[in-house]
Amino acid sequence: MQKKILIVDDEPNIVMSLEYSFKKQGFEVYIARDGSEAIQILETHIPSVILLDIMMPNVDGYQTLRYIRENEKTKDVKVVFLTAKNKSSDIEKGLEMGVDKYLTKPFSVKKIIAEINNLIE
């Protein structure tokens, strides 16, 4: 079974870098520019993992995570916050809301891929 990832971020350079790297690792990659696009994608595709930014226009990462955890089809999908919000209170909030992993920007693509692979295997 092919591993699937949904990358939700409004920064085009980050999205391009992650998309390229995950495709090289054999992932099927879905892209959303904000939480509302992510929710639309989740109506028809259930990924192995969701890489989710917090600070985005329209629907932010917190709102998106709440939707994911409250939805029967997506409640068990692994979710990783990848965000510039790096205060301990931000991390605690994410973990309390049910995020599986909290990673901060700037980041190493190799580390992100390793963390994702560890999480879904």
Tokens representing 18 are 């992650």
Q: Which domain holds residue 115?
A: 4-120
Looking at residue 1, its pLDDT comes to 66
Mean pLDDT of the region 5-29:
96
Q: What is the pLDDT of residue 2?
A: 83
Q: What is the mean pLDDT of residues 24-37?
A: 96
Percent of the chain with pLDDT over 90: 93
> Which residues does 65 contact at the CB level (< 8 Å), separation at least 6?
52, 79, 81, 94, 97, 98, 99
Beta strands 28-32; 49-52: pairing state = unpaired
Find the mean pLDDT for residues 92-115. 94
Residue 1 neighbours by CB under 8 Å, 6+ apart: none
The CA distance from 44 to 69, in Å, is 16
Dist. CA 57–CA 52, nearest whole Å: 13
Number of domains in the chain: 1
Angstrom distances, CA of residue 101 to CA of 12, 24, 40, 92, 98? 22, 22, 23, 11, 9
Of the two residues 72 and 2, the one the predictor is more confident about is 72
pLDDT band, very low/low/confident/very high, at 121 (cuts 50, 70, 90): confident
Q: What is the DSSP string of 50-78?
A: EEE-SS-SSS-HHHHHHHHHHSTTTTTSE
> Using one digit for the tens of pLDDT, what is the confidence trace for 42-70?
999 999 999 999 999 999 999 999 999 99
> CB 81: neighbour CB atoms within 10 A?
25
Supply the pLDDT for residue 88: 92
The CATH number for 25's domain is: 3.40.50.2300
